[in-house]
């Protein structure tokens, strides 16, 4: 018997599964795509994954473009509350040689279609969970943009439902599928920096605008549907589409926008994919006027139970792990280490190997076929988003927020606790 058998976790729950992977007794295999039966080009039409897309504006439209060019995917359904987006998307699918597609302004219709296997959710943030839930509860797998959630409460429910209905959900934190981020986290996890003391992050600046009078709702936009769960507020063009992210009703500013990318890497590197910090304090620079209300600049200081401190400031997006033996800095442009030769430090077979994905979409689609967990699950996305939301709550309240990552409750601060969830406008509910 292999000595490792005794420590094998052969009955891991989803949460314990993550812990197991982290505890080094579980090795993530490298299942390179070209090693599987699913590399693009081998698919018979009948084996293609049939997909629908909800939210096909800026970010979602980018995903749609990638999907229609794939041979292993067939897009048959489109949904957007902006009929212009919808018309453009239909044309794109048509030009790509796809058959006629079903299109709708109501995602519930798309989610209910029995011919769809998986759905891409590229909506504004306040729709991520509601649209995903509708798909999951109708037996679809989901690729959903980051940040996964609008509130902490949303994430727990979505993650539980993904498990309940045995679905695959990939959060679009695609930095996990980039070589340098994985390598950086792998080196940190294997102790190349010694004990980690601090992690420093930079987040880009937010945005402000002057007060603005209500504007006519454009005929192509179903504004009430766009608002969804959020309180009714008058329309102006810079409320919707890309700029929704500067208003707390729909998002959390750069804290959840870029924070969902970079804090995700912090959680990964520090082995907290199923957990989170125990205290977060912050001070933000908020717009002094106008309808935008998310921070322009951030200054957040968080602490994990093991004493590792995370400092989030305003600056270029970068994650820097600092340990007793050096540091590793990583961003989308590349990575640096001190000492420099850390970069070539080999991760040996008996060490911790992190889940390897070389392409976020490939990983999701492979998992749809193999029913394996993707690299950024609902639980991981929820925990990362929770960190982002705690940072925003701490900045809004300008004080230290204590968090219990096991019970997922704020400790001893009624005002902060009230900000972990929001009432939803009917008919929307979790």
Partner 1 sequence: MRNMNKMKIKFLWFGLLLVPFSALAQPAKNDFDEDAGKVKATAVLTIDQAWQRLPNYKFGDSLVPLKTIEKAVAASPKTDAERADLAAKLGAILDNPNATKDARKFVCRLLAIIGDDKQIPALSALLLGNDEELSFAGRYALERMPSASALQALRDALTKTKGATLAGVIDSLGVRGDFNSIGAIAAAMREADDLVMRSALNAIGAIGGTQSLETLAQVGFPQNSPLVAVAQASALRVADGLLKTSPTQAAPVYKNIMAANSKGAIHIAAWRGVVKTTGEQAAPMVIEALKSNDKNLQTAAMGVINDLPKGAFISVANAIANLPEDSQILVFNAMTSYDVPAVRSAALAVLNSKNENVRIAALNALSMSGDVSTIAALTKVAANGSAREKPVAQNTLERLRGDTIDAALIQHLEKASPNERAVLAKALGNRHAPNATEVLLKAAGDVEANVRLAALEALSQTAQPNDVPTLLELQSRALNADKRELLTLEKTTVAAVQNGSDTEAALNSVLIALKDAAPLRKASLLRIVGAIGGPKANAALMEAAKDNDETIRDAAIRTLAVSSDQKVAPALLDLAQNAISATHKVLAFRGYVRLADDKNLKNSERLKMYGAALPVAPASEKKLVLGGLGNIGSADALKLVAPFLEDADMREEAAAAINTIAAKMLAGAVAEKDKEPLRAALKKVLEISKNEAQRKQSADNLQKLG
Q: Which is nearer to partner 1, 25 or 325 (CB)?
A: 25
Q: Which is nearer to partner 1, 98 or 318 (CB)?
A: 318
**Beta strands 102-104 and 73-79, pairing class:** parallel
- Minimum separation from the CB atom of position 61 to partner 1 (A): 9
Q: Which is nearer to partner 1, 219 or 344 (CB)?
A: 344
Query: How do the residues of the chain divide into helix, strand and coil, expressed in percent and rounded to 5?
Result: 35, 20, 45
Beta strands in 305-369 (DSSP E): 309-314, 318-323, 326-331, 334-338
- CA pair distance 119, 79, nearest whole angstrom: 10
- Minimum separation from the CB atom of position 164 to partner 1 (A): 5
- Minimum separation from the CB atom of position 269 to partner 1 (A): 16
φ, ψ at 154 (rounded to 5°): -60, -40
Could you tell me which residues come within 8 angstroms of residue 9 by beta carbon, excluding any fewer than 6 positions away?
16, 17, 20, 25, 26
Q: Which is nearer to partner 1, 12 or 305 (CB)?
A: 12
- CA pair distance 79, 142, nearest whole angstrom: 14
List Cα–Cα distances, 347 to 188, 189, 325, 354, in angstroms: 11, 10, 17, 10
- Minimum separation from the CB atom of position 97 to partner 1 (A): 25
- Minimum separation from the CB atom of position 46 to partner 1 (A): 13
- Minimum separation from the CB atom of position 165 to partner 1 (A): 5
- CA pair distance 412, 356, nearest whole angstrom: 40
φ, ψ at 107 (rounded to 5°): -60, -25
- Minimum separation from the CB atom of position 30 to partner 1 (A): 6
Q: Which helix (H) or strand (E) holds 153?
A: helix 152-164
* Residue (of 362, 367, 371, 375) closest to 41 by Cα position: 362
Q: Is the Cβ–Cβ distance between 210 and 305 less than 8 Å? A: no
The residue behind tokens 């957990």 is 275
Q: Which is nearer to partner 1, 275 or 420 (CB)?
A: 420
Q: Say how many C-beta atoms besides its own lie within 10 A of residue 10's C-beta.
A: 6
Q: Which is nearer to partner 1, 100 or 340 (CB)?
A: 340
Q: Give the distance, in angstroms, between the CA of residue 272 and the centroid of all CA atoms in the same chain.
A: 15
- CA pair distance 292, 285, nearest whole angstrom: 12
- Minimum separation from the CB atom of position 172 to partner 1 (A): 11
- CA pair distance 55, 40, nearest whole angstrom: 25
- Minimum separation from the CB atom of position 213 to partner 1 (A): 4
């Amino acid at each position: 018997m292999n000595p490792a058998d005794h420590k094998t976790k052969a009955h891991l729950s989803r949460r314990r599964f993550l812990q197991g992977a982290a505890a080094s007794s579980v090795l993530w295999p490298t299942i390179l795509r070209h090693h599987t039966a699913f590399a693009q080009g081998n698919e018979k039409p009948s084996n293609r994954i049939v997909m629908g897309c909800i939210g096909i504006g800026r970010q979602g439209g980018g995903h749609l473009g990638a999907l229609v060019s794939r041979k292993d995917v067939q897009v048959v359904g489109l949904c957007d509350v902006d009929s212009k987006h919808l018309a453009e998307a239909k044309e794109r699918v048509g030009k790509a040689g796809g058959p006629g597609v079903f299109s709708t302004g109501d995602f519930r219709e798309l989610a209910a279609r029995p011919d769809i296997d998986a759905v891409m959710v590229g909506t504004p943030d306040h729709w991520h969970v509601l649209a995903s839930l509708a798909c999951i509860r109708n037996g679809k797998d989901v690729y959903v943009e980051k940040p996964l959630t609008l509130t902490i409460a949303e994430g727990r429910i979505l993650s539980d439902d993904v498990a309940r209905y045995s679905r695959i959900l990939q959060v679009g934190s695609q930095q996990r599928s980039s070589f340098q981020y994985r390598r950086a986290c792998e080196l940190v996890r294997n102790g190349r920096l010694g004990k980690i003391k601090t992690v420093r992050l930079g987040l880009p600046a937010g945005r402000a605008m002057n007060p603005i009078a209500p504007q006519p709702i454009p005929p192509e936009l179903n504004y009430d549907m766009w608002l969804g769960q959020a309180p009714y507020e008058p329309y102006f063009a810079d409320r919707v589409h890309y700029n929704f992210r500067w208003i707390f009703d729909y998002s959390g500013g750069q804290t959840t926008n870029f924070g969902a990318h970079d804090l995700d890497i912090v959680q990964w590197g520090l082995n907290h994919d199923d957990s989170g910090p125990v205290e977060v304090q912050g001070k933000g620079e908020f717009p002094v006027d106008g309808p935008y209300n998310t921070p322009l600049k951030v200054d957040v200081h968080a602490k994990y139970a093991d004493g590792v401190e995370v400092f989030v400031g305003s600056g270029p997006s970068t994650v820097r792990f600092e340990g007793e033996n050096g540091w590793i800095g990583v961003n989308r442009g590349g990575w640096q280490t001190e000492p420099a030769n850390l970069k070539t430090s080999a991760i040996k077979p008996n060490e911790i190997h992190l889940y390897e994905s070389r392409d976020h979409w490939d990983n999701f689609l492979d998992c749809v076929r193999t029913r394996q967990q993707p690299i950024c699950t609902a639980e991981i996305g929820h925990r990362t988003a929770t960190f982002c939301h705690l940072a925003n709550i701490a900045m809004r309240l300008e004080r230290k927020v204590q968090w219990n990552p096991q019970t997922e409750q704020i400790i001893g601060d009624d005002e902060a606790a009230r900000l972990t969830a929001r009432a939803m406008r009917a008919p929307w509910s979790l």
